[in-house]
Structure 1
Amino acid sequence: MLLRAATPEDALGVARVHVRAWQTGYRELLPHEYLANLHPEERAQRYDFANDDPRRPKTIVAIDDDAVRGFATIAPAHDSDTTDDGELCALYVDPDRWGQGIGIALISAARNRLIELDYHYARLWLLVGNARAARFYRADGWAPDGIVRTETIWGVSVDELRYRRSL
Structure 2
Amino acid sequence: MSPLVVREAGVDDADEVARVHVRSWQAAYRGLIDQSVLDGLSIAERATGWRRLITDPLPTTLGLLVAERDDRILGWTSFGSGRDPDGLADAEVYGIYADPDAWSTGAGHALLDAAEQRMADAGHARAYLWVLDGNVRADTFYARHGWIEDGAIKIEERPGFTLCEHRRVKLLAP
TM-score normalised per structure 2: 0.90
Distance 1:112 1:135, change over 3 A: same
Say if 2:60 and 2:82, in contact at 8 Å, map to a contact too: no
1:99 lines up with 2:139 in the alignment? no
Aligned to 2:6: 3
Equivalent of residue 25 in structure 1, options 25, 28, 31: 28
Distance 1:69 1:90 in 2: 14
AA of the residue aligned to 1:102: A
The number of aligned residues is 167
- 1:87 alignment counterpart: 92
Secondary structure at the counterpart of residue 166 of structure 2:
strand
Partner amino acid for 1:143?
I
Question: 1:41-75 CA distances to partner (integer Å, 9 max, x unpaired)?
Answer: 11111121133665235210011121211001101
CA shift for structure 1 position 155: 5.1
Displacement after TM superposition at 1:153 (Å): 4.7
Q: Shift of residue 81 of structure 1?
A: 2.3
Unaligned runs of 5+ in 1: none
Does the CA contact (< 8 Å) of 1:127 and 1:161 recur in 2? yes
Deviation at 1:109, TM superposition (A): 0.3
Percent identical pairs in the alignment equals 37
Report how far residue 152 of structure 1 moved: 3.0
What is the match of residue 60 of structure 1?
A: 65
